[in-house]
Amino acid sequence: MSRATKRKHVVQELLQDRVEPRAAQRVVRVLGTPGNNLHEVETAEGTRFLASMPPRFRKHIWIKRGDFLLVDPIEEGSKVKAEISLVLLPPHVRSLRLQGLW
């Protein structure tokens, strides 16, 4: 798969209007990016931890401080406790609020 085709598929997946989080997934806010494809995030309860970015998002999706993410927990991690599943855009946030999941 060419680089342009892969970027097209990743962005198309990201732009889906309807987001339905699974039971184990959590919505978190990005506090910073210490580097090495890691992002410091905070949950609604106030707990802070690191989340890793999977290879399919690298070089295709940009994450800034203040963005919202959908993450999957990782049990074996001591510092890195989650992996990014989806970057939530404003249409995703609106959809979650309408569903009552925000």
DSSP 10: H
Which pLDDT belongs to residue 17?
A: 55
pTM of the full structure: 0.82
- With a cut of 80, say whether residue 9 has pLDDT above it: no
Which pair of structure tokens corresponds to residue 56? 């399919």
Domain 3-99 has CATH 2.40.50.140: yes
pLDDT digits (tens, 9 = 90+) for 59-97: 878 899 999 999 999 988 888 999 999 899 888 888 888
pLDDT-based confidence at 102, cuts 50/70/90?
confident
- With a cut of 60, say whether residue 24 has pLDDT above it: yes
Indicate the domain borders of the chain. 3-99
